[in-house]
Every structure is written in structure tokens, then in C-alpha cells.
């Protein structure tokens, strides 16, 4: 009997595994073709590419391609801006998204909730080009909205596009405005699936809204928060190019706080047309992000091993 | 009792919620409204008066301009729709299956696959190798497939889905397994229906990324009959940032600002109309069922 | 269209499959779905592709990538067929036209060249410069081919012209022949200069224009005297105003060159412009004008500027390429139809630079399988009037009609405008020898005469024909470009006070030194001297 069951179990497990392999196969195929096949190309960061000799035959020039980035004297500033601003954005957006999702979850009139949610999502649909126009319309020193209001109340006009110190806050606000709806949907989707029995339990124990949120909702979306933060960390060295390009628009005077790795690389590409340098920068960003992720994963595993990504 | 308490709570809570949401909603809606209004405003008026909440001088010139550009708008809409719909459906299917295998607790490869997917978010080969791969080896240049295939799998979505799947009660799966269900059946009958909000979210993101994608077209599409909508609109506008030195022909003045706004409207409206359909999945309480029997 | 239908049907089938699968999940259906997916994939790859010219076994097809304005020419195929009729007879090959927009060209052509894609001829210009294309390594050296395969073309142009396109001693591009001259000056609506009785013909410096701008400030409420944009425009530093020619293009991405040579310097000394008195003067004047209100306080984007300009919000546009050509087209396209004057600054002679001669051209790709035929095609563009005008204007009768055959004057057919024209590349400079071209506007006919007249007083740059190789100082150029973007641009546009301790001229100069500008200057000087020794007596 035992033998028989074992055999059945074994074939079943094998069958199960086969099904799983099959389920994963198409997706893996797509990723392999479009993401992993070009990846060896990253070696171009160390080469002087000549298509007639192919990727691997081209001349090896070591770290020469990295020189333009590090010898420029602004490398530290670029890294600081990229990582710092990304970190600021991440913290702001994730916190607010969680709060908003919590609030949305509490609204019992579904139609109202639907409306709020859709409306919150609108900014995400607007392309960065248009966002740039609006930013200009609002921040223009002569006719911008803010300056009109300020001068109406008697204060002096501020030339926003000339003062670097305001921009981290301005950019943060814009990033929040655009990302809030997007991320709150993710959290809301997680909250919606929570069994009401848990809330019942808290209420029976005499808890109020805040307790419900703290002891039930938040722990349930903890894994989601982790994954969002994780992914953001992995990409923390990659700035959102469209955002910066269209809103900051390479305005010289504010570059000290707004220039990020990506915009610098693209500017250089425009001037020199050298793709290898762009590859070098990309490699740098990827490696840094990777190290950061490994660190973060190690830390998380120490605290709460369930939530670690790998 | 608790009932009374929660009622009181509800009242003050509701007030707080409204107080917070109204300004946020305003900030979110007004820009969209302004764009909409600007698209129906005479270009000169935008230049003179800036962006307004109501057309200073009403005009259809922006839309006329776009729709009289030798007629590719219709085809672009078609292409975008085909690409978005196909891509989303196929992509969501693939991604959910993949995420399921990564989330599966008894599968050897799950952690490895997770890393495999995740890694692609950190590194990419760069433009040139990608371009070479697609044009010289895959021969996908100027085909509709290049608009669909690369975006099928979004690692971010996969990781999100995996997290959702992980949270589903293990007992369900074990029960099904004991009943003799195969993996596919477990996936389709149990995992998917319970994850409707997650799937809807992923679907939404997929739709967005396909609908707004211009990068693949920029690199690989020369054939105008395959232009997706945002790319076509982009070209129509940027065609006119021309050389300042003597063009050969004289044209009429392009209403630049209002056309850009109209362009934005045309790109956003289809998504907005798809929204209500996705909304259904975000209502609390709908997806419970699970253990209580379906 | 049949292919499209086929594809749509396949996709519908797919969709049905997916829906079914979700509701009646069985393994078999799953397999069926994937097999059909693979099938449609292969069908798609095989069939949905760019329409190729029907190439027969022995007639090679050449792919030509070039720049094209306004949407996507409807009648491209017809024009292509007409061109092929001519070409098959003359050179035994066919052409396949691949027009790209101005924006695409900047990205796509380097990519095509760098990846070794199957292409034969590319058109190079400001939008994809010769140097950038050269650096991809994708251009074919033409020295051997030119005298052998296309002797007519080779002999047609003076040695000076060919020398102007040598990089490291070899020729990689056939320059287009666009005789023209450029002056620093303003494009300004005639109605404004007339209204304020401003005698621009006598204005011999930037400052001489101040009375005009003051009048605008005082009397025209909503009008900004001088146009500026967030990237290129709104500055007074133009090398040709101050008598310099640029060495390579070391600059901020949308800025003016900062490494220059003084035109009347026989020693050809390479200088970093920001350290000269001329630059200081330009920057201080820009600041003065900015404070006065001649420039917008926050420069608008290109798009916003274009609307403003079309609606008369600007009085003048300072540019370094005021020319002799007729402004009707530009006036209608960009200024709302007002007559625009080519108001050059008096007394500044036109400088003939390498850019004047080799500003644009056509090159053969190294990856081309038929380089000799490709070169012959280029030759046809320079010698065959029928082909040249076909590419520029389209088919006679269909896309253009004769207005006055004796004077080579043509116009659009009845009822067709620039926008509704079905073939309208709008690029007079691209397809070879402009002297073969017919004229669209009356004013154009005299242009050649005016240019010839201007050439008499033109000054030739001492480094005419020299193209620097930036490879040894790539990193420094990148760094300088970044510094220029951050400090130089605001200075040149008057947005910052030159004496500002944190962001002024002195700081800019300091940062340039840190970025390695001296190394660039030294390297280019070395190259210039070598080149001079070799090529000149």
C-alpha cells in the first residue's frame, strides 16, 4: 500500500512539476530573448565598438569609456542627485500612497470611492511633455501662476528657474502628484482582498478604526510595501529621464540640484554620439543598484526572512 | 456599544476623508480639464491668455489640423488598439502564469525564476545590442510584433503578482491538491479568481504601457502604416520644429500649443473610457469567497 | 491590405483562444493556444514587412535613408518608381526611399550605421552631423571609388571642396552643393522696422539696434523684443559676429562653439572662446539687454516659442545664419505671413567655413553590398537634373507644374497647399547639386546672383577644410559640454550676472579649466598644425 501511494505521489509530483515548467516557459522565453540576449552587449561598456568586428571582436579599451563620467568633476553630484532625489520620491510617494489607500479602503460608498480613485489616477495619464508645459506655465518668472498670486499679495516675484534650492521640493511634489494614483491602486488592490473576519476580530476586541488599520490592514500589505521599496531601491541609480528632461529642460542654473546621471549621459550622447559611453554609464547604474539590492535583501532577511525576495 | 462608537467614528472619519480628498482630487482633475479646454481653444488665445478653465476663444482648429493631416490617424488608432489588446491579454496570461510558478511554495525553481525575472530590472544590454538583435537576428524591424513582444512581460508586474499569490491561503491549494487537481486547474479555478484585483491592476499597467509606448516604434518602425498612435502624434507635432532656413513650400501656421493639447486628449481619452471596466475589481468584498465555498 | 486582414484574423483567433482557455482550462487547449501563437508569430514575421522594391536577380536595390519634412509622403512609392525608371537605365540599380523625420534622424542614422544594418546611402546634415556619423565607424571611405567609379563627380568639384570633407585624410561623404553665405544678424518683420523708421541697413553692431528695441519696449505692449528659447536661442555670442571660425563643435548640447580660431589669424591659433575679450563683451551685453527686458525672463520651449512667434509676440530673432535667400516660405510657415527681412549686421563679411562647404552631404555605408552603385546614385543626384528635381519636388504635373519654364519657375498644382501636398520633402539642400534645382518662389531666382555677389567680399577661414578628430579628448569634451550647459548657457543668454561670484564668468572659466579645456585646445592645435603642414603650402 505504502509503495503504491509513494509511486502515485511521485508521478503526481513529476506531473505537477512539468505543468509548472510549462506555465513558466513562455514568459521565460520572452524575457530571455528580449532582455537576456542583448545583455552580453553590456560588455560594450569596455570596448570601442566597430560593427564589422562585432561585439566581441571590438577593441578592448578598459575603463576609458567611464572616464567621461568620472573625470567630469560632477560625478559625485550626479550620483547624489540621482540617488537622493529617487530616495526622496520613493519615501514620499509610498507613504502617501499607503495612507491614501487606507483612506480609500474605508469609504463605504463604492461609487464615491470609485470616483476618487479614478480621479487620482488622471495625473499618471498625462505625458511628461505636457507636465513640463504646465510647470512652465506655473513657474514662469513673468507670467506664471504662482508669481502672479505672490505679487498680488505684495511679495516679490521669485525666478523659479534660476534657484536650485527650490527644485528638490518642486520635483518631489510633481513626482507625488503623478505617482500617487498609480501606487495607491496597487495597495488598494491588496487591501480589498482582506477577509472582513479579521476586522471583526479587532472590533470585537474593542478596537477602533486606527487599530483595524494598524493590526490588520498594514500587516497584510507589508509584503507589497517591501516589494515596492525593493524594486525602487534596485532602480535607485536610474533616474526617470522623461520627467527630468521635460520639467528641468537642461536649464543651466538649476543643474546643481537637478542634474541626474541619465540626463547627463543623454546630453553627452547628443554631443559626442558615442553609444559606448552610454553603455558604460548604464553598467555603472546597474551594478550599483545590484549591490544595493543585495544589501537590502540581506538586511530584510535578518529581520523577517519571509519577506526577503531571495 | 461598538455599533454606536463606530458610527461616530464613521462620521468624523468621513469628514476627514472628504477634507483630504477634495483638494487632492482638484489638483488631479484640474490639469486634465485644462488640457481638455486648451485643445478646444484657439492657439493664439492660449498664447495671449495662458491656460484657462474655459476656452477664451473656442476653436476646433487643433482637431481639424490633426485630422486633416494625410489620413493616418485612423490606422494609428487601429494599430494601437490591436497592439494594446493583444499585448495585454497575452501578457497578463503569461505574467500570471509565471508569477504563479514563482510564488509556488513547492517548486524547486521558484526562487531562481524570481531572481531571473527581477534581474532584468537592474541591467539591460543597452540600445545598440538590442537594436542589432532585433534587426539583424530576429528580423522584427517594421513588424507589428516588435510593438507587442518586448512589453509582454513587465518584471515589476510579475513581482507584484507573485506577492499577491503568496498571500493566498495555503490551505486552499493543499485541499485542491488532495482532491486530485492538476496545477493548471488549481491556477485557473482557484488562484486566478481570488486575485481579480491584482490581475486587474496588472492589466491596467499593461494597457498603459502598451498604449503609451513610443520607444519601440521610434527605434524600429519606418513604415508609416505601422505607426502606433502616440508615435504618430509625436511625429505630427515634431515635424514642424523645422529648419529655420527657407523651407521650399509655404504652409499655414500650425496651431502648436492647442494641437499638442489635442494630441494629449486623443491619447488619454481611450484609456479613460477603459477605466470603468477595470474599476469593478477594486470594490471591497467582491473577491472573497475562497474557503466559504463558491 | 490583404495581409492586414490576415493578421487581424489571426489575432481574433488568438483572442478567442485565450478567452476559451480561461473558462475551459484544459491542457489541450493550452497547447493549442501556444501552437497557434507560434504560428501567427512566424506568419507575422514573414509577411508583415516593409514593401520592398521588386528586386530581380541582377538589379540590386539600394536603401537610401534621408531627412524628410512634413508627415509621411503619400506618394512615396510613385516617386520611387519614377526615380527607378531613370536609375535602372543610367546606373543599373534601383533605389528604395526611406524618409525619416528630423527628430528620428538624430537617433536612427547613428544606430543604423553603428549596428551595421543593411543600408546603402545616408544623408548627413545638422541633424546627424558628419563627424558623429564618422565616429560610428559605419561610413565607407570613398577615395578609391570616386575617381574610378564616378569620374564625372570627382572632376566636377574643386579639390578644395573634396579636401573640406577629409577626416584623417580620407573622404567619407559627398558634400551637397548649396552655395550660400551666412551673416550674423536678425530676422525681423518689415512692418516693425518701417513703423519705427529703423534704418537697419546701417546698423553695424549689436548695440546699433538698441534704439529699435527700446521703441518696441515702450510702444508694443505684449511684444518681446528678442526671441529666446530654452535651448538654442536668445544669445549674442556667435563666432562669426566676432570674427571666429569654430574648431569642431565643442559646446553645450544646444550652444554655440567654444573652441575657435580667429579668422584673420595666419598662425591659426586655437583659442578657448570664453577666455577672450570678445566673449566677455558678448556676455556683458546679453546681460545688459536681459535686464533691460529685451529677452523673456524665463525662456519658453521650442513649441511655445513657435506659437508666440507666429502670433507676433517677438520683434526680432538673432541668428548667425542670415542669408541671401528668399524669406517668403519661412515667413509664411513661422511668422504668420509677415514679410521678414534678412537684416545682416553691416560690415560683417560672410565667413566661408568648412561648414559652409560641407554642411550636408550623402555618404555610403560601409555595410552596403553595392558601394559602387551607391556612389553612382549619389553622382546622379549631382548631375541628373531630372532625378534631382524629382526627389525634391515629385512628379511633374502631379506634384508640381511649370509656371515659367524659361526661368525654371514652378509651383504647386492648383488647389494644393504645402500641407496637403502628397509629396513634399521640403529639403532643398539634401539631394545633391542645388544648381540643378528649379525655383519655387520668384525671390529664389535671384538668390544665386546675390550669393555670387556676396562671395566677392567673403573671407575664407584659415582652417577651411580641417575637420578635427575628437577621439583623444572625448572625455574632456563631454565634461566641457556639461560645464558649458550649466554655466555658459545662462551667461550667454544674460540670465546670470557675469560678475556673480558663484556663477559668473570667472567661475565658468575656472570650471572649464577643471574640465580640461586646455587639453582640448592643445590637442586641436596639434591637429591643425599637422593638417596645415600637410595640405597647404
Q: What's the longest Cα–Cα distance across chain A?
A: 92
Confidence band of A13 (pLDDT split at 50, 70, 90):
low
Residue B4, pLDDT score: 46
Residue A5 has pLDDT above 50, yes or no: no
> Residue C487 gets which letter from DSSP?
I
Residue B284 has pLDDT above 50, yes or no: no
B139/C478 Cα distance (integer angstroms):
35
**Three cell numbers at C118?**
543593411
Q: Which of A17, A31, A137 shows the shortest C-beta gap to B120?
A: A31
Report the pLDDT averaged over residues C338-364: 87
Residue C146 has pLDDT above 50, yes or no: yes
Lowest-pLDDT range of A8-12, A201-205, C3-7, C407-411: A8-12
Q: Please count the residue pairs, one from chain A and one from chain C, whose beta carbons lie less than 8 angstroms apart.
A: 123
Subunits in contact with chain B (3 or more CB pairs closer than 8 Å): A, C
CB contact under 8 A, B124 and A180: no
Find the closest chain A residue to C484 by CA distance: A252
- Within 8 A of C116 by CB-CB distance, chain B residues are 132, 136
> Residue A53 gets which letter from DSSP?
G
CB contact under 8 A, B126 and A38: yes
Q: What is the pLDDT of residues C259-300, one digit of tens each?
A: 999 988 888 899 999 999 999 999 999 999 999 989 988 888
How many beta carbons lie within 10 A of that of residue B26, not counting itself?
11
Subunits in contact with chain C (3 or more CB pairs closer than 8 Å): A, B
In angstroms, the separation between the Cα of residue B10 and the nearest Cα of chain C is: 41
Residue C110 has pLDDT above 60, yes or no: yes
In angstroms, the separation between the Cα of residue B24 and the nearest Cα of chain A is: 7
Confidence band of C116 (pLDDT split at 50, 70, 90):
confident
The percent of residues above 90 in pLDDT, for chain C, comes to: 23
Residue A191 has pLDDT above 90, yes or no: no
Residue C193 has pLDDT above 60, yes or no: yes
Secondary structure (3-state) at C459: strand
Confidence band of B290 (pLDDT split at 50, 70, 90):
very low
- Within 8 A of C100 by CB-CB distance, chain B residues are 222
Report the pLDDT averaged over residues B94-98: 90
Find the closest chain B residue to A134 by CA distance: B31
DSSP conformation letters of chain B: -HHHHHHHHHHHHHHHHHHHHHHHHHHHHHHHHHHHHHHTB-HHHHHHH-S-SS-SSB--HHHHHHHHSTT-HHHHHHHHHHHHHHHHHHHHHHHHHHHHHHH-TT-TTHHHHHHHHHHHHH----HHHHHHIIIIIS--TTSSHHHHGGGS--HHHHHHHHHHHHTS-HHHHHHHHHTT--HHHIIIIIIHHHTHHHHHHHHHHHHHHHHH--HHHHHH---GGG--HHHHHHHHHHTTS--SS--SS--PPP-HHHHHHHHHHHHHHHHHHHHHHHHGGGSTTTT--GGG--
CB contact under 8 A, C135 and A274: yes
| Helix pair angle (A128-139, B256-279), 10° resolution | 120
Q: What is the pLDDT of residues B47-56, one digit of tens each?
A: 777 777 888 7
- Within 8 A of A126 by CB-CB distance, chain B residues are 31-32, 35, 264, 268
- Within 8 A of C313 by CB-CB distance, chain B residues are 47
Residue C173 has pLDDT above 70, yes or no: yes
**Three cell numbers at B5?**
462608537
Residue C46, pLDDT score: 45
A182/A184 Cα distance (integer angstroms):
6
Residue C378, pLDDT score: 92
Residue C362, pLDDT score: 93
How many beta carbons lie within 10 A of that of residue C403, not counting itself?
15
Find the closest chain A residue to C368 by CA distance: A52
- Within 8 A of C319 by CB-CB distance, chain B residues are 244
Task: Please work out, in degrees rounded to the nearest 5, the angle formed at the alpha carbon of residue C320 by the alpha carbons of C316 and C324.
Answer: 85
The answer to whether residue B222 neighbours chain C at the CB level (below 8 Å) is yes
Residue A87, pLDDT score: 93
- Within 8 A of C138 by CB-CB distance, chain A residues are 51
Subunits in contact with chain A (3 or more CB pairs closer than 8 Å): B, C
Contact B29, A119 (CB under 8 A): yes
Confidence band of B192 (pLDDT split at 50, 70, 90):
confident
Confidence band of B246 (pLDDT split at 50, 70, 90):
very low
Residue C53 has pLDDT above 60, yes or no: no
Lowest-pLDDT range of C21-30, C373-382, C470-479: C21-30
> Residue C113 gets which letter from DSSP?
H
- Within 8 A of B264 by CB-CB distance, chain A residues are 126-127, 130
Report the pLDDT averaged over residues B239-265: 59
The answer to whether residue B70 neighbours chain C at the CB level (below 8 Å) is yes
Report the pLDDT averaged over residues C256-261: 90
- Within 8 A of C72 by CB-CB distance, chain B residues are 70, 72, 224, 235
Residue closest to B153 by CA, chosen among B120, B200, B188? B120
Residue C49, pLDDT score: 43
Beta bridge partners of C343: C186
The percent of residues above 90 in pLDDT, for chain B, comes to: 0
CB contact under 8 A, C482 and A268: yes
Contact C483, A246 (CB under 8 A): no
Q: Which of residues 249-278 of B touch A (CB under 8 A)?
A: 257, 260-261, 264, 267-268, 271-272, 275
Residue B249, pLDDT score: 47
Residue A156 has pLDDT above 50, yes or no: yes
Q: What is the pLDDT of residues A71-84, one digit of tens each?
A: 777 788 888 999 99
- Within 8 A of A136 by CB-CB distance, chain B residues are none
* Buried/exposed code over C516-533 (b: 16+ C-beta within 10 A; e: otherwise): bbebbbebbbebbeebee
Residue B293 has pLDDT above 90, yes or no: no
- Within 8 A of C136 by CB-CB distance, chain A residues are 273
In angstroms, the separation between the Cα of residue C512 and the nearest Cα of chain A is: 10
The answer to whether residue B85 neighbours chain C at the CB level (below 8 Å) is yes
Residue A174, pLDDT score: 93
The answer to whether residue C366 neighbours chain A at the CB level (below 8 Å) is yes
Confidence band of C54 (pLDDT split at 50, 70, 90):
very low
Q: Which of C366, C487, C515 shows the shortest C-beta gap to A72?
A: C515
Confidence band of C19 (pLDDT split at 50, 70, 90):
low
Residue C519 has pLDDT above 90, yes or no: yes
- Within 8 A of A278 by CB-CB distance, chain B residues are 126-127
Residue C6, pLDDT score: 61
Find the closest chain C residue to B146 by CA distance: C45
The answer to whether residue B48 neighbours chain C at the CB level (below 8 Å) is yes
**Three cell numbers at B24?**
487632492
Contact A107, B17 (CB under 8 A): yes
Residue B20, pLDDT score: 83
The percent of residues above 70 in pLDDT, for chain A, comes to: 89
Confidence band of C30 (pLDDT split at 50, 70, 90):
low
CB contact under 8 A, B143 and C104: no
In angstroms, the separation between the Cα of residue C106 and the nearest Cα of chain A is: 8
CB contact under 8 A, A51 and C367: yes
Interface test with A, best of B9, B125, B212, B213 (most A CBs within 10 A): B125
Interface test with A, best of C229, C298, C488, C513 (most A CBs within 10 A): C298
The answer to whether residue C19 neighbours chain A at the CB level (below 8 Å) is no
The answer to whether residue B250 neighbours chain C at the CB level (below 8 Å) is yes
The percent of residues above 70 in pLDDT, for chain B, comes to: 81
Residue C91 has pLDDT above 80, yes or no: yes
Residue B36, pLDDT score: 87
Q: Which of C104, C334, C427 shows the shortest C-beta gap to B218?
A: C104
Confidence band of C1 (pLDDT split at 50, 70, 90):
very low
User: Among the ranges B282-291, C138-147, C421-430, which has the highest mean pLDDT value?
Assistant: C138-147
Contact B130, A281 (CB under 8 A): no
* Cα→Cα distances B106→A14, A16, B157, B178, Å: 12, 10, 22, 14
Residue B285, pLDDT score: 40
- Within 8 A of A186 by CB-CB distance, chain B residues are 160, 201
Find the closest chain C residue to B83 by CA distance: C11
Structure-model confidence comparison of residues A79 and C427, the more confident one:
A79
Residue closest to B263 by CA, chosen among B25, B36, B98? B36
Pairing of strands C224-226, C314-322: parallel
Residue A175, pLDDT score: 93
CB contact under 8 A, C479 and A144: no
CB contact under 8 A, B195 and A23: no
Mean pLDDT of chain C: 83
Mean pLDDT of chain A: 81
A110/A107 Cα distance (integer angstroms):
7
Residue B193 has pLDDT above 50, yes or no: yes
Confidence band of C5 (pLDDT split at 50, 70, 90):
low
Q: What is the pLDDT of residues A218-270, one digit of tens each?
A: 888 888 888 888 888 888 888 888 888 888 877 878 888 888 888 888 877 77
- Within 8 A of A290 by CB-CB distance, chain B residues are 122-123
Pairing of strands A59-60, A47-48: antiparallel
Confidence band of A15 (pLDDT split at 50, 70, 90):
low
Report the pLDDT averaged over residues B253-264: 74
Q: Which of residues 156-215 of B touch A (CB under 8 A)?
A: 156, 158-160, 163-164, 166-167, 182-184, 187, 194-195, 197-198, 200-201, 204, 208, 212
Report the pLDDT averaged over residues B271-285: 65
- List of residues 6+ apart from C295 with CB closer than 8 A: C224, C225, C226, C228, C234, C286, C289, C493, C494
Contact C376, C484 (CB under 8 A): no
Q: What is the pLDDT of residues C360-407, one digit of tens each?
A: 899 999 989 999 999 999 999 999 999 999 988 888 888 888 888 888
Residue B287, pLDDT score: 38
Amino acid at each position: 500500500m505504502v509503495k503504491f501511494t509513494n509511486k502515485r505521489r511521485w508521478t503526481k509530483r513529476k506531473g505537477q512539476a512539468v505543468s509548472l515548467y510549462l506555465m513558466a516557459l513562455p514568459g521565460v522565453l520572452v524575457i530571455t530573448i528580449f532582455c537576456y540576449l542583448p545583455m552580453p552587449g553590456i560588455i560594450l561598456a569596455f570596448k570601442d565598438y566597430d560593427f564589422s568586428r562585432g561585439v566581441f571582436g571590438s577593441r578592448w579599451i578598459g575603463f576609458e569609456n567611464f572616464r567621461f563620467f568620472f573625470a567630469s568633476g560632477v560625478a559625485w553630484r550626479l550620483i547624489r542627485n540621482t540617488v537622493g532625489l529617487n530616495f526622496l520620491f520613493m519615501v514620499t510617494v509610498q507613504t502617501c500612497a499607503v495612507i491614501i489607500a487606507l483612506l480609500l479602503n474605508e469609504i463605504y460608498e463604492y461609487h464615491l470611492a470609485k470616483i476618487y480613485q479614478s480621479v487620482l489616477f488622471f495625473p499618471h495619464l498625462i505625458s511628461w511633455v505636457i507636465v513640463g508645459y504646465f510647470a512652465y506655465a506655473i513657474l514662469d518668472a513673468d507670467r506664471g501662476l504662482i508669481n502672479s498670486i505672490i505679487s498680488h499679495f505684495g511679495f516679490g516675484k521669485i525666478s523659479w528657474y534660476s534657484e536650485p534650492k527650490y527644485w528638490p521640493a518642486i520635483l518631489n511634489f510633481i513626482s507625488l502628484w503623478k505617482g500617487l494614483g498609480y501606487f495607491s491602486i496597487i495597495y488598494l488592490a491588496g487591501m480589498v482582498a482582506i477577509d472582513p473576519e479579521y476586522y471583526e476580530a479587532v472590533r470585537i476586541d474593542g478596537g477602533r478604526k486606527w487599530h483595524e488599520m494598524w493590526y490588520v490592514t498594514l500587516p497584510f500589505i507589508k509584503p507589497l510595501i517591501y516589494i515596492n521599496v525593493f524594486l525602487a531601491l534596485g532602480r535607485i541609480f536610474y533616474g526617470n529621464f522623461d520627467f527630468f528632461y521635460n520639467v528641468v529642460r537642461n536649464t543651466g542654473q538649476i543643474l546643481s540640484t537637478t542634474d541626474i546621471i541619465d540626463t547627463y549621459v543623454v546630453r553627452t550622447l547628443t554631443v559626442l554620439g558615442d553609444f559606448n559611453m552610454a553603455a558604460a554609464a548604464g553598467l555603472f547604474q546597474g551594478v550599483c543598484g545590484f549591490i544595493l539590492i543585495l544589501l537590502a535583501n540581506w538586511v530584510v532577511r535578518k529581520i523577517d526572512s519571509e519577506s526577503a525576495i531571495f | 456599544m461598538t455599533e454606536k462608537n463606530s458610527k461616530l467614528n464613521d462620521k468624523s472619519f468621513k469628514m476627514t476623508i472628504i477634507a483630504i480628498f477634495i483638494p487632492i482630487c482638484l489638483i488631479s482633475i484640474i490639469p486634465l480639464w485644462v488640457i481638455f479646454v486648451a485643445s478646444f481653444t484657439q492657439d493664439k488665445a492660449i498664447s495671449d491668455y495662458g491656460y484657462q478653465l474655459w476656452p477664451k476663444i473656442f476653436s476646433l482648429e487643433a482637431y481639424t489640423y490633426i485630422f486633416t493631416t494625410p489620413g493616418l490617424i485612423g490606422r494609428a488608432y487601429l494599430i494601437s488598439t490591436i497592439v494594446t489588446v493583444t499585448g495585454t491579454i497575452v501578457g497578463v496570461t503569461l505574467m500570471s502564469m509565471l508569477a504563479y510558478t514563482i510564488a509556488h511554495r513547492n517548486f524547486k525553481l521558484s526562487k531562481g525564476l524570481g531572481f531571473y525575472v527581477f534581474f532584468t530590472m537592474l541591467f539591460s544590454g543597452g540600445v545598440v545590442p538590442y537594436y542589432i538583435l532585433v534587426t539583424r537576428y530576429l528580423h522584427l524591424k517594421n513588424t507589428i510584433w516588435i510593438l507587442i513582444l518586448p512589453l509582454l512581460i513587465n518584471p515589476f508586474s510579475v513581482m507584484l503578482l507573485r506577492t499577491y499569490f503568496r498571500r493566498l491561503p495555503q490551505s486552499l491549494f493543499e485541499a485542491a491538491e488532495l482532491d486530485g487537481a492538476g496545477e493548471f486547474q488549481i491556477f485557473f479555478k482557484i488562484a486566478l479568481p481570488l486575485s481579480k484585483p491584482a490581475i486587474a491592476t496588472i492589466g491596467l499597467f499593461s494597457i498603459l504601457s502598451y498604449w503609451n509606448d513610443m520607444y519601440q516604434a521610434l527605434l524600429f518602425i519606418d513604415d508609416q502604416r505601422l505607426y502606433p498612435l502616440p508615435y504618430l502624434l509625436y511625429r505630427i507635432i515634431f515635424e514642424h520644429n523645422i529648419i529655420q532656413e527657407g523651407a521650399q513650400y509655404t504652409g499655414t501656421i500650425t496651431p502648436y500649443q492647442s494641437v499638442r493639447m489635442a494630441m494629449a486628449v486623443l491619447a488619454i481619452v481611450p484609456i479613460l473610457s477603459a477605466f470603468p471596466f477595470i474599476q469593478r475589481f477594486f470594490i471591497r468584498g467582491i473577491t472573497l469567497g475562497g474557503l466559504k465555498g463558491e | 491590405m490583404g495581409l492586414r486582414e490576415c493578421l487581424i484574423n489571426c489575432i481574433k483567433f488568438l483572442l478567442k483562444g485565450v478567452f476559451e482557455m480561461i473558462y475551459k482550462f484544459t491542457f489541450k487547449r493550452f497547447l493549442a493556444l501556444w501552437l497557434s501563437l507560434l504560428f501567427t508569430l512566424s506568419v507575422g514575421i514573414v509577411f508583415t514587412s516593409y514593401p520592398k522594391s521588386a528586386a530581380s536577380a541582377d538589379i540590386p536595390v539600394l536603401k537610401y535613408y534621408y531627412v524628410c519634412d512634413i508627415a509621411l509622403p503619400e506618394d512615396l512609392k510613385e516617386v520611387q518608381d519614377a526615380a527607378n525608371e531613370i536609375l535602372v537605365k543610367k546606373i543599373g540599380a534601383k533605389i528604395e526611399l526611406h524618409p525619416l523625420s528630423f527628430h528620428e534622424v538624430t537617433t536612427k542614422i547613428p544606430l543604423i550605421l553603428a549596428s551595421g544594418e543593411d543600408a546603402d546611402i545616408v544623408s548627413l546634415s545638422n541633424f546627424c552631423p558628419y563627424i558623429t556619423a564618422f565616429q560610428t565607424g559605419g561610413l565607407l571611405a570613398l577615395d578609391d571609388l570616386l575617381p574610378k567609379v564616378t569620374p564625372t563627380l570627382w572632376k566636377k568639384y574643386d579639390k578644395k571642396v573634396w579636401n573640406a570633407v577629409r577626416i584623417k585624410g580620407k573622404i567619407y561623404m559627398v558634400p551637397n552643393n548649396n552655395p550660400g553665405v551666412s551673416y550674423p544678424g536678425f530676422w525681423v518683420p518689415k512692418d516693425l522696422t518701417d513703423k519705427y523708421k529703423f534704418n537697419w541697413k546701417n546698423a553695424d553692431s549689436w548695440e546699433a539696434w538698441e534704439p529699435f528695441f527700446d521703441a518696441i519696449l515702450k510702444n508694443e505692449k505684449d511684444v518681446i523684443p528678442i526671441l529666446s528659447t530654452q535651448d538654442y536661442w536668445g544669445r549674442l555670442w556667435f563666432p562669426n559676429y566676432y570674427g571666429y571660425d569654430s574648431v569642431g563643435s565643442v559646446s553645450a548640447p544646444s550652444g554655440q562653439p567654444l573652441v575657435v580660431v580667429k579668422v584673420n589669424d595666419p598662425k591659426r591659433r586655437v583659442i578657448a572662446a570664453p577666455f577672450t575679450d570678445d566673449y566677455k563683451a558678448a556676455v556683458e551685453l546679453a546681460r545688459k539687454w536681459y535686464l533691460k527686458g529685451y529677452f523673456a525672463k524665463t525662456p519658453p520651449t521650442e513649441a511655445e516659442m513657435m506659437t508666440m512667434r507666429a502670433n507676433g509676440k517677438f520683434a526680432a530673432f538673432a541668428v548667425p545664419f542670415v542669408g541671401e535667400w528668399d524669406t517668403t516660405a519661412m515667413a509664411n510657415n513661422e511668422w504668420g505671413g509677415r514679410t521678414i527681412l534678412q537684416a545682416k549686421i553691416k560690415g560683417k563679411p560672410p565667413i566661408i567655413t568648412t561648414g559652409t562647404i560641407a554642411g550636408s552631404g550623402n555618404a555610403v555605408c560601409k555595410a552596403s553590398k553595392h558601394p559602387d552603385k551607391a556612389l553612382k546614385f549619389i553622382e546622379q543626384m549631382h548631375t541628373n537634373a531630372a532625378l534631382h528635381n524629382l526627389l525634391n519636388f515629385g512628379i511633374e504635373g502631379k506634384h508640381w507644374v511649370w509656371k515659367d519654364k524659361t526661368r525654371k519657375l514652378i509651383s504647386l498644382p492648383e488647389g494644393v497647399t504645402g500641407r496637403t501636398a502628397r509629396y513634399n520633402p521640403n529639403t532643398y539642400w539634401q539631394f545633391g547639386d542645388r544648381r540643378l534645382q528649379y525655383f519655387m518662389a520668384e525671390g529664389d531666382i535671384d538668390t544665386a546672383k546675390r550669393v555670387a555677389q556676396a562671395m566677392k567680399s567673403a573671407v575664407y577661414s584659415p582652417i577651411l577644410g580641417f575637420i578635427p578628430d575628437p577621439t583623444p579628448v572625448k572625455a574632456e569634451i563631454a565634461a566641457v559640454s556639461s560645464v558649458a550647459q550649466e554655466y555658459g548657457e545662462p551667461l550667454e543668454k544674460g540670465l546670470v550676472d557675469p560678475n556673480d561670484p558663484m556663477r559668473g564668468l570667472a567661475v565658468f572659466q575656472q570650471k572649464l579649466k577643471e574640465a580640461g579645456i586646455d587639453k582640448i585646445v592643445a590637442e586641436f592645435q596639434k591637429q591643425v598644425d599637422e593638417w596645415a603642414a600637410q595640405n597647404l603650402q
